């Protein structure tokens, strides 16, 4: 018989996060987070609870992200293209902004508004804004108010003969222009970026915890009741006829692009989704989560019954989850690799999954297996091959029970 060989966990080459200590059982840092059941899924909406649950144990995943809830509306290609702008605000394309406008119109139609009212409201809400004026009006350090007739600021990027030229359009007078300094423009961008609110816009929104990790940008949302808009920079195209050189008589078509400062009419927020095993572990083992259903909190026994009805093999999978969590592993859902759980050392940001776990419950004196997952040599070989192809090892975790137990005995 072949001897089992266990390999050490493989550490990821690129790690962008720092390891934080797990949840404390007691102490000053102890707090109870709140989640709710929506369509048989456990969802966490509070941004503070999302950060707490994911950073201290890597519980759950973002509904719009692969793992960490770090969804960002910005286009990475445009952010790299306009890196000289030095703005903390999200940069999106005009096509993507058009989608947000259409989503906002659709949401307003569901509210029973007529098309004339919708078009007028959307047009007034999405009109280009004056970046400098918005920054000076919303900054807490403002000392003087700006004049109403100040022209709007447009950051443009023109491509001529393969060379990109960045410039500012629309400003009739810039006191720092003659000195070759653009500190005032950078300050305006940073000031506006820091006063954006996390509240929803008047057209409705999908909530999310927006935090830019890959771009290393500061968060453009702060919890302030004074402001209730999200601002974005939209890249728009324009075509102008101009002379390339004074001595040239030919007119060349120069394609130029500009960043226009607008309000986002349809905000997208990201939630944290917990698996049933993760949610019950936080409620039962750590006592740091309270789960609500229709605004009514669930007790531990009610939550156990509810999860058992939703997921037939919940009891078996949770026993395996609880066991490996207590051993220091970070179990995650293994549905992608036809398994019940995946085991990570420290967490998904630091190591690749080492093991795929199949949890089974054996009941009775004759050790009769459950019929929820019928195994044959063919299916077992296929599962083992799938696990080996992704550099993992298969663990068949069997829980032996001499008799059927009541819910109280299982807990």
* Spatial distance between the Cα atoms of 97 and 274, rounded to a whole number of angstroms: 31
In this structure, the number of other CB atoms found within 10 A of the CB of residue 158 comes to 18
Residue 145's alpha-carbon distances to 75, 191, 205, 227, 228, in angstroms, are: 33, 15, 32, 18, 21
Q: Which two tokens stand for residue 93?
A: 């394309």
* Spatial distance between the Cα atoms of 33 and 297, rounded to a whole number of angstroms: 12
DSSP 226-277: S----EEEEEEEEEEEEESSTT--SEEEEEEEEEEEEE-SSEEE--EEEPHH
Let me know: does 273 contact 63? Beta carbons within 8 Å: yes
Q: In sequence order, what are the residues at sequence separation of 6 or more whose Cβ sits closer than 8 angstroms to the Cβ of residue 176? A: 182, 183, 184
* Spatial distance between the Cα atoms of 282 and 32, rounded to a whole number of angstroms: 10
Q: In sequence order, what are the residues at sequence separation of 6 or more whose Cβ sits closer than 8 angstroms to the Cβ of residue 364? A: 402, 403
56, 263, 322, 352: the catalytic one is: 352
Q: Residue holding tokens 């000195």?
A: 179
344 belongs to the catalytic site: yes
Q: Which two tokens stand for residue 7?
A: 């390999």
321, 344, 351, 355: the catalytic one is: 344
* Burial classification of residue 346, based on how many CB atoms lie within 10 Å of its CB (0-12 exposed, 13-18 middle, 19 or more buried): middle
337 belongs to the catalytic site: no
In this structure, the number of other CB atoms found within 10 A of the CB of residue 344 comes to 21
* Spatial distance between the Cα atoms of 87 and 216, rounded to a whole number of angstroms: 11
19 belongs to the catalytic site: no
CA-nearest of 374, 278, 371, 364 to 320 is 278
* Burial classification of residue 264, based on how many CB atoms lie within 10 Å of its CB (0-12 exposed, 13-18 middle, 19 or more buried): buried
In this structure, the number of other CB atoms found within 10 A of the CB of residue 354 comes to 19
- Positions annotated as catalytic residues are 344, 352, 392
């Amino acid at each position: 018989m072949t001897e089992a060989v266990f390999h050490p966990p493989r550490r990821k080459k690129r790690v962008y996060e720092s390891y934080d200590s797990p949840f404390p059982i007691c102490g000053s840092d102890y707090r109870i987070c709140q989640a709710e059941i929506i369509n048989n899924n456990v969802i966490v909406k509070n941004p503070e609870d999302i950060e707490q649950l994911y950073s201290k144990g890597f519980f759950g995943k973002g509904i719009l992200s692969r793992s960490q809830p770090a969804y960002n509306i910005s286009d990475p290609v445009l952010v790299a293209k306009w890196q000289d702008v030095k703005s903390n605000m999200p940069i999106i394309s005009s096509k993507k902004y058009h989608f947000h406008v259409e989503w906002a119109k659709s949401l307003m139609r569901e509210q029973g508004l007529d098309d004339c009212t919708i078009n007028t409201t959307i047009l007034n809400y999405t009109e280009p804004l004056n970046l400098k004026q918005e920054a000076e009006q919303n900054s807490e350090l403002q000392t003087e108010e700006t004049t109403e007739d100040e022209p709007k600021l447009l950051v443009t990027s023109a491509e001529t003969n393969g060379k990109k030229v960045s410039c500012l359009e629309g400003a009739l007078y810039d006191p720092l222009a003659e000195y070759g300094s653009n500190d005032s423009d950078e300050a305006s961008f940073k000031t506006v970026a820091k006063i954006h609110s996390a509240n929803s816009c008047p057209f409705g929104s999908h909530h999310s915890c927006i935090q830019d990790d890959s771009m290393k940008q500061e968060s453009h949302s702060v919890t302030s009741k004074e402001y209730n808009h999200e601002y974005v920079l939209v890249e728009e195209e324009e075509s102008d006829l101009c002379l390339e050189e004074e001595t040239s008589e030919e007119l060349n078509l120069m394609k130029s692009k500009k960043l226009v400062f607008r309000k986002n009419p349809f905000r997208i927020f990201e939630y944290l989704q917990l698996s049933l095993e993760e949610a019950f572990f936080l409620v039962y083992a750590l006592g740091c989560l309270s789960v609500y259903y229709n605004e009514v909190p669930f007790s531990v026994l009610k939550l156990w019954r509810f999860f058992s009805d939703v997921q037939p093999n919940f009891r078996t999978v949770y026993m395996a989850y609880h066991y490996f969590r207590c051993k220091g592993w970070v179990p995650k859902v293994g549905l992608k690799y036809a398994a019940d759980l995946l085991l990570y050392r420290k967490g998904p940001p630091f190591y690749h999954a080492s093991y795929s776990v199949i949890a089974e419950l054996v009941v009775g004196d004759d050790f009769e297996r459950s019929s929820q997952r019928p195994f044959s040599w063919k299916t077992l070989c296929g599962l083992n091959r799938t696990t080996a192809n992704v550099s993992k090892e298969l663990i068949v975790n069997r829980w032996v029970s001499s008799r059927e137990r009541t819910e109280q005995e299982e807990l």
